[in-house]
Structure 1
């Protein structure tokens, strides 16, 4: 057992123990490692050892296509091939011809006994560097065995998943999610499908904090790419899961997969009901006369949902695959909210008060589809052509009824109604071509065309005693159409120790907005180049460095542009700005990864320069605040990031993420200077404990410091999550308990302090407890259907 794990650790740490003997000739060794089904094995260990001493001489790991190349000056040696879950294969004293040893294809067979032993000891998830990204290889520890994709993501350094299932990278939610390198219905944030992916389906998660020119230039937080395993298990696999939670988080999920020689047919079905309660407070104070308005309220948002995914992979032959998948979801929303609004004069005497009740109902149909064609090329498995088309359609039919009942003062009661008829269609067409040669060079090129088409019909009505009459000032139809054409090219050169990748992307953007009722168009067109460059260096097997640069863009979204607003709180109004311009960011980054025994560490320094920064500016009049986004100046941010994982024993591990950044703002708006400096930091400590009887525990403590924006001060947040899991029936069934925000301490509070006014806003959702039971059948394993809210 100890010998097996010694071999595995040698592979994961890429140990290279090179003996130097200048009198011997150099032998070049090459080959490829496949499994019994013919699929290449990535990161398999290739160990070169001395026949006499039986000690390692050198070693390497296989690439994505299973190939490897290494050199040695040893006159005689043995070669050993190993990978987690496969039998070890050894070749003693192979024959060498003219300094070349071509081993061809080496086949490794699965080892069921070894797999059982690995589960006992616990294969630890590891992070390694590639040329322009960090790769989190999913192991069989607590975070991956029997977990959903959302839980696996929550254990990747720099990545967090909040209560509603929103994914953040380095604390920011502007993350682009990909499946196998492309947008997918599974990762679509409008659905719930990401939580239905099981960890045993995930091979690795690629974290790209500084994306190259190959990827869409949109967003500043980076890209998370979930790479699924090439599962060759034929037959029928499936799983069923049931979740129950407080407050309401009840769901039933079903997964079924059938694989034949030509087809892989997959389906997922989920139904459920969930509740999101919230406590809210606000205060608007006029500092010139000391009058103020405050409110205290509660709301319960209830959703009943249905989600269906159907898809198939059709293998035309060994080199051509077509994938077609679709996602249909439907949500029924009902929200009840009550708030007490009170007005006070300068002497703190109550002048008016009313209770505002809200009943909102909505239906949300959602459709997504994906059509993909991939062609591989004979003789070079890394050469590929990928064509894809994805579409997402979302609609909302919503009605909100508001009732103001006066509890103090002489104000008349008020009935209001808000209606929204909303439709959105998003389409993305992509073509990507990758061409490697000579095992060192790679060229990538491609194009993308994206279309966003939105129409929002919004209206506000008041009851005049007989019927509801629309207010023409607060009613309009807003149209937003955006078209982005992008083309790119990259070139990479990668050796054993160092690599270089350069690229450039060109994007042409055409944006048009229109307020139909008042005939107010606003058209913009701009085109930009987005260069990128990356370099990596492997100092030794335990220390690697990576440096990168990329230019990014943030394009204003619908709610940044739409000037119409929700009237839940008539004293705090948020609107959009049709004249808003995009943000541009130059991002520089140097990162390193270091391993020392049972400790692995990642340290990075980053710098970002952002122009045309979008910030919300608050105007205040008659104790009413109106928040509107504006482009204000530039921002310079410098920060450090530290991630470490320590595994003192096979049953205990600790992971810590730490992020600190300091920023300087430079800008003015309407003659007022908004120059300021600030800082922000956050940390997360995760502890995992493996107990007897297949019981796993997980504790996660989170802290986010307070920080300031243009006008606001955001207070600190501290909270803890807890999870427990037990496997039964040899892992075919899983019992899972999850408690989010154990101490109900996750509070969001902001203050706006200006010379003339003061604003305070407070919100809290409270504790969420969920218990789940999952069962896998056929050749599948137990899955988990998250049922989390996706925005």
Structure 2
């Protein structure tokens, strides 16, 4: 098995070191580990030789199928420790050495009743524990002794998948909020690659939350993954260098450094590069009443040069108190070219007009973020904690666009247009969370959060009159958006041997203000809401457990849902915001199960969601121009299933499947028109991972997304495949990656609006992306196992 191979490599390496150390005596340790109850051998039990001075391991191994082991050390003073998941740990201090040998004989270890009180389902490598509102994946010695990266550990968690590029998905969706020790962190920010520098021996457990309780923001997400780090982290200098190149342009260089001492953990990351994102675009606007229509065919490419810097430190005041301060600065230079041909046809399908529209857009985007956090643990109870944090994110965009219309058929004059955007956005979040266990079964959580969003967008469109560019007053304004949300929550939980329950309540007060400065049009809103939650779990047997949950969620309109400005790249297909938009509210019910059957682990979930004030796009069509804006149109009821399975038939191959199906029914009206309809939507993803000789890993990911309809549109189906290959060299210190996204260039984005009086079609395709990367880890660092390609 793979674990035997890994520990054999560790043993060979340890043997090499000890046999080449001059003038040191070697002690050989042997024995056999068995269960106390039935005397059966325990395979993969961990045997460690440790230094009694600092309680740190010196060398280790795992037991074979018959429970036996052999271990060698050159240390003169040491202790021996035997452990296995779910069993008590046995330690031998100052063992007697006879003629350079120690024979422990048959060592019996008993089951740990405290651990067995938890609802446990064994995974193929470590173990998964069912808690009330989450699943907890405990990282055992089998992973933490191998030097695996955090991304490899995540890939062993049921329902979680990490592709070779490092994109993390939960039950097939990549809209996942990543936390480190229960809080947002620049380490887990998908805009950086720092997560890849965490190694398995730094991680204590990974918590997966699919239906968040009242403790978390009421804003909806696809789920939460929380990585809890051990207090005993690697000391010394850890680091990695990554170099990527690709077609189309995807060239980058990154450096990550991590320095740990007894009191400080200093981490940094530096990266810069250049990327290109080309795409093909098609649109069609057809007037079904008079038979005229306009079509466009074009292509554009977005070129981005970027620089990114992360700096941070953890200061351990003592064993119970730690302060974290970190910051991230990024700067992007954008240059985008678009070139499209617009053709007009009359009712007899005769071409009447043609013009070419060329665009050059340039922008600079500075980004800043910081976090200051304080965490206090309490002596005598590791579950009791106080967390205070303040985070800030600032983003700005200074953008200009030049448009040139050149008539090739027809009598229209050539025209020039300009647009400019001066945009700033600031987001600040202040949090306090307190957890207090009253006993082994009862726990209380409480806390508060205050979040501020402040945005200003100075936007203008100018037309050339033959001499000068004149701003269009109808399309020029300054838009301000401010949102302040105060949240207060409390939860209480009971966990017994087989059954548990957790209930909570969150209160949020929201203030929203919008203002169009030039025309002095304002729209202020204030609303406050209660968000209850409830979760329960029940252990049927050792291989099957059930979990049920309810939570109330909210979707608040964001800036681009409210902003009335629009991009004039295509003057015939316009999307704009709606400052009067109201929030959506969703009641979410979910029942999930986790089941282990031999070499397969399966998760099945059934959900129901009821949403009020559903936001849908409404289209106005006139003179072959479509204007789309979001509106609140009614209610939606969605019922669905989510299935995830991971099957490992052999240690060199594994399969993971994510399947999602939902049926939705919409009821509503807008301006006297009824909008009642039903529909289905489903998607599936099959991931195959193959381990070849010479440390080569292959990954094939097949994706299918069915067609589905919205209020007015039909979204086309998608079938595409991604491929990845990885080769470890220099004993895993260096990794070479090959990534091919959309292997057959079949992934598209297409929407069709077919109404009695008009027909619209929007189509785009980005094509194939190929990236080759190499990463090298130094010190105690591990190579980062992904290409660093930008997320889409």
Same fold at TM > 0.5? yes
Secondary structure of residue in 1 paired with 2:566? coil
Q: Tell me which residue corresponds to 2:51.
A: none
Separation in structure 2 between the aligned mates of residue 608 and residue 123 of structure 1, nearest angstrom: 33
Q: Residue 491 of structure 1 aligns with which residue?
A: 492
C-alpha spacing 1:676/1:314, structure 2 compared with 1 (3 Å) = same
Residues in 2 aligned to 1:367 and 1:169: alpha-carbon distance in whole angstroms: 28
Answer yes or no: is the 8 Å Cα contact 1:175–1:219 preserved in 2. no
Aligned partner of residue 697 in structure 2, secondary structure? strand
1:653 matched to which residue of 2? 654
Q: CA deviation at 1:496?
A: 2.6
> Can you list the C-alpha shifts for 1:560-613, whole angstroms capped at 9, x where unaligned?
000111111100000000000000000000000110110111111000000000
CA distance in 1, matches of 2:141, 2:249: 31
What is aligned with 1:726?
727
SS in structure 1 of the partner of residue 524 of structure 2: strand
The residue that corresponds to 1:580 in the other structure is 581
The answer on 1:82 being equivalent to 2:78 is no
Match of 1:456 in 2: 457
In structure 1, distance between residues paired with 2:199 and 2:3: 28
- Give the structure 1 partner of residue 302 of structure 2: 301
Deviations 1:403-457 (A, max 9, x none): 1111110111111111000000000000000011321111100000000000000
Following superposition, the deviation at residue 236 of structure 1 comes to 1.0
Residues 21-32 of structure 1: pairs in structure 2 closer than 5 A: none
Identify the residue that residue 317 of structure 1 maps to in structure 2.
Answer: 318
Asked whether the 8 Å contact 1:249–1:787 carries over to 2, the reply is no
In the alignment, does 2:603 pair up with 1:606?
no
Out of 194-203 and 157-166, give the one that drifted further.
157-166
**Aligned counterparts of 1:146 and 1:336: Cα–Cα separation in 2:** 45
Task: Identify the range of structure 1 (218-227 vs 431-440) with the bigger mean alpha-carbon deviation.
Answer: 218-227
Task: Give the drift of 1:204.
Answer: 4.8
Query: What is the SS of the residue equivalent to 1:186?
Result: helix
Q: Which residue of 2 aligns with 1:62?
A: none
TM-score (norm 1): 0.84
Helix, strand or coil: the match of 1:667?
A: strand
Conservation of the 8 A alpha-carbon contact between 1:219 and 1:553: yes
Q: CA deviation at 1:154?
A: 7.5
Mean Cα deviation higher: 492-501 or 662-671:
492-501
Residue 310 (structure 1) shift = 0.3
CA contact (8 A) 1:303 1:334 kept: yes
Q: Within 2, Cα distance between the matches of 1:739 and 1:133?
A: 34
* Structure 2 unaligned blocks of 5 or more: 8-32, 46-80, 93-105, 116-122
> Any idea what the Cα deviations from partners look like across 1:18-55, whole Å, max 9, x if unmatched?
xxxxxxxxxxxxxxxxxxxxxxxxxxxxx994456448
Structure 1 distance, partners of 2:582, 2:538, is: 38
> Structure 1 723/87 Cα, relative in aligned 2: closer, same or farther at 3 Å?
farther
Conserved in 1, the CA contact under 8 Å of 2:551 and 2:588? yes
User: Are the equivalent residues in 2 in contact too, given 1:484–1:510 (CA < 8 A)?
Assistant: yes
How far the C-alpha of 1:124 sits from its partner, in A, is 3.9
Distance, in Å, in 2 between the alignment partners of 1:386 and 1:606 is 32
Task: Give the deviation of 1:402 after TM superposition.
Answer: 0.7
Shift of 1:169: 4.7
Deviations 1:350-375 (A, max 9, x none): 11111111101000000000000000
Label 1:94 to 1:343 Cα distance change in 2 as closer, same or farther (>3 A): closer
> How do 1:288-367 residues align onto structure 2 when only pairs under 5 Å count?
288-367=289-368
Distance in 2 of aligned mates of 1:335 and 1:231: 48
Number of paired residues? 705
1:481 positional shift: 0.3
Tell me, which stretches of 5 or more residues in structure 1 are unaligned?
Answer: 8-46, 60-78, 104-121
The whole-number CA distance in structure 2 between the counterparts of 1:639 and 1:680 is: 9
Residues 729 and 176 of structure 1: CA distance in aligned 2, closer, same or farther (over 3 Å): closer
Instruction: Say whether the 8 Å CA contact 1:184–1:390 is kept in structure 2.
Output: no
The 3 A distance-change label for structure 1 pair 175 and 553 is: farther
Q: How far, CA to CA, are the matches of 2:560 and 2:113 in structure 1?
A: 62
Contact 1:82–1:88 (CA under 8 A) maintained in structure 2: no
The aligned runs of 1:113-128 (5 Å cut-off) are 124=125, 128=129
**Deviation larger for 765-774 or 174-183:** 174-183
Measure how far apart 1:129 and its partner are. Answer: 2.7
Which residue of 2 is the match for residue 186 of structure 1? 187
Q: Shift of residue 180 of structure 1?
A: 2.3
Pair 1:226–1:762, CA change in 2 (3 A): farther
> 1:412 aligns to what?
413
Q: 1:198 to 1:384 in 2, by over 3 A?
A: closer
Paired with 2:723 and 2:163, the residues of 1 have a C-alpha distance of 13
Does residue 430 (structure 1) correspond to residue 431 (structure 2)? The answer is: yes
Shift of 1:748: 1.2
Change (3 A) 1:52 1:160: closer
Matched residues in 2 for 1:217 and 1:512: separation?
20
Give 2:240's aligned residue.
239
Contact 1:364 1:395 (C-alpha < 8 Å) held by counterparts: yes
Kindly state the Cα deviation for residue 82 of structure 1 after the two structures are TM-superposed: 1.5
Provide the C-alpha distance between the structure 2 equivalents of 1:250 and 1:767, rounded to a whole number of angstroms. Answer: 16
The more displaced of 622-631 and 432-441 is 432-441
TM superposition shift of 1:464: 1.1
Equivalence map 1:266-665=2 (5 Å) = 266-665=267-666
Q: Could you tell me how far apart the structure 2 residues matched to 1:630 and 1:457 are?
A: 24
| CA offset digits 1:297-356 (Å, max 9, x no partner) | 101101110100000010111111000000000000000110111010111101111111
Deviation readout 1:527-551 (Å, 9 max, x if unpaired): 0000000000111111010000000
Give secondary structure in 1 for the equivalent of 2:474.
Answer: helix
Distance in structure 1 (CA, Å) of the matches to 2:250 and 2:604: 38
The aligned residue for residue 12 of structure 2 is: none
Q: Would you say the 8 A contact 1:479–1:513 is kept in 2?
A: yes
TM-fit CA distance, 1:740:
0.8
- Contact kept? 2:283, 2:762, Cα under 8 Å: yes
- C-alpha distance in 1 between matches for 2:596 and 2:113: 32
Q: Distance in 2 between matches of 1:214 and 1:773?
A: 41
Partner SS, residue 745 of structure 2:
coil
The equivalences for 1:727-746 within 5 A come to: 727-746=728-747
For the 8 Å contact 1:555–1:582, the answer to whether it is kept is yes
How far apart are the structure 2 equivalents of 1:448 and 1:252? 37
The verdict on how the C-alpha distance between 1:442 and 1:87 changes in structure 2, with shifts beyond 3 A counting, is closer
- Any conservation in 1 of the 2:89–2:109 contact (CA below 8 Å)? no
Q: How far has the Cα of 1:186 moved from its partner?
A: 3.4
Mark the CA change 1:52 to 1:412 in structure 2 (over 3 Å): closer, same or farther.
closer
User: When the two structures are superposed, what TM-score results if normalisation uses the length of structure 2?
Assistant: 0.84
- Cα drift, residue 126 of structure 1: 6.1
Q: Aligned to 2:187, what secondary structure does the other structure show?
A: coil
Equivalent residues in 2 for 1:693-708, closer than 5 Å: 693-708=694-709
Q: CA deviation at 1:519?
A: 0.2
Change (3 A) 1:470 1:411: same
| Aligned residue number for residue 66 of structure 1 | none
**Deviates further, 433-442 or 582-591:** 433-442
Residue 176 of structure 1, CA deviation: 3.3
Question: Counterpart in 2 of 1:669?
Answer: 670
Following superposition of structure 1 onto structure 2, how do residues 682-701 of structure 1 map, counting pairs within 5 Å? 682-701=683-702
Would the alpha carbon gap of residues 670 and 151 (structure 1) be closer, same or farther in structure 2, given more than 3 Å must change? Answer: farther
1:368-409 deviations in whole A, cap 9, x for unaligned?
Answer: 000000001111111100000000000000001111111110
Any conservation in 2 of the 1:612–1:633 contact (CA below 8 Å)?
yes
CA contact (8 A) 2:616 2:632 kept: yes
CA separation of 1:599 and 1:162: change in aligned 2, threshold 3 A: closer
Alpha-carbon distance between aligned partners in 1 of 2:578 and 2:194, rounded to the nearest angstrom: 32
Question: Aligned partners of 1:777 and 1:210: how far apart in 2?
Answer: 39
Q: Distance in 2 between matches of 1:278 and 1:2?
A: 43
SS at match of 1:503: strand
